[in-house]
Amino acid sequence: MEAPAPAPHSPAETPVPGVTVELTITSPEQMQELGRRLAKLLRAGDLVLLNGELGAGKTTLTRGLGEGLGVRGAVTSPTFVIARVHPSLGDGPPLVHVDAYRLGGGLEEMEDLDLDVSLPESVVVVEWGEGKVEELTEDRLHVTIHRAVGDTTDEVRHVTLAGFGERWAQVDLGAPL
């Protein structure tokens, strides 16, 4: 498992009380279903940060988000292209899927992606985004996925959903899950 993140230093960096949910996921299908259910809570302007070890299920969760949001195109890992935009097939927001794994710096290194421009009308999901994109908005959802590492066939994942900011103070993360 990853080492815990350092303690937040400002009130904006503290999860909203009551807006943290812990889940156990036992299959890729359940991870994708979690994404479909979370999509029901998302709206344009939402920033979702996904963190977890390689192979934890970040892209599988995002695939479920894409299905739930009703977007066009297969949601696959954007590791080599850095970002993909999936337009909505209906009247919902597009999904902007970013993989910040190869980006070492903070928000300034990600400026070329224009996430600040995309955010108001899109749902922006950033894999490996912790410490890189929090400055985009105080209102965001952090999803942390822990899995057994090493030579294992263990499919169990421990998922923590943590809402930050006023937007998530009004959302019951446990309701649809």
List, in sequence order, every residue forming a beta bridge with 48; answer none if it has no partner.
Answer: 125, 141
pTM comes to: 0.81
Q: In what order do the strands lie in the sheet with 140-147?
A: 20-25, 157-164, 140-147, 47-52, 123-127, 95-99, 83-86
Q: Distance between CA atoms of 122 and 8, rounded to whole angstroms? A: 27
Residue 173: pLDDT over 60:
yes
pLDDT in tens, 45-102: 999 999 998 889 999 999 999 999 999 988 877 665 567 778 899 999 999 998 877 6
| Amino acid letter, residue 173 | L
pLDDT value, residue 137:
85
Torsion of CA 156, 24, 47, 101, to 10 degrees: -20
Q: According to the model, what pLDDT value does residue 39 have?
A: 95
Q: Which residue has the higher pLDDT, 149 or 45?
A: 45
Number of neighbouring beta carbons within 10 Å of residue 68: 23
Which is more confident, 41 or 16? 41
Could you give the C-alpha distances from 17 to 98, 129, 172, in angstroms and in order?
Answer: 28, 22, 11
Nearest to 35 by CA among 137, 143, 136: 143
DSSP string, 50-98: EEESTTSSHHHHHHHHHHHHTBSS-----TTTSEEEE-BSSSS--EEEE
Split at pLDDT 50, 70, 90, the class of 129 is: confident
Q: Quote the tokens at residue 10.
A: 């400002």
User: What average pLDDT is seen over the chain?
Assistant: 80
d(CA 125, CA 113): 13
| Higher pLDDT pick, 23 / 118 | 23
Q: What is the dihedral of CA 96, 100, 101, 104, to 10 degrees?
A: 170
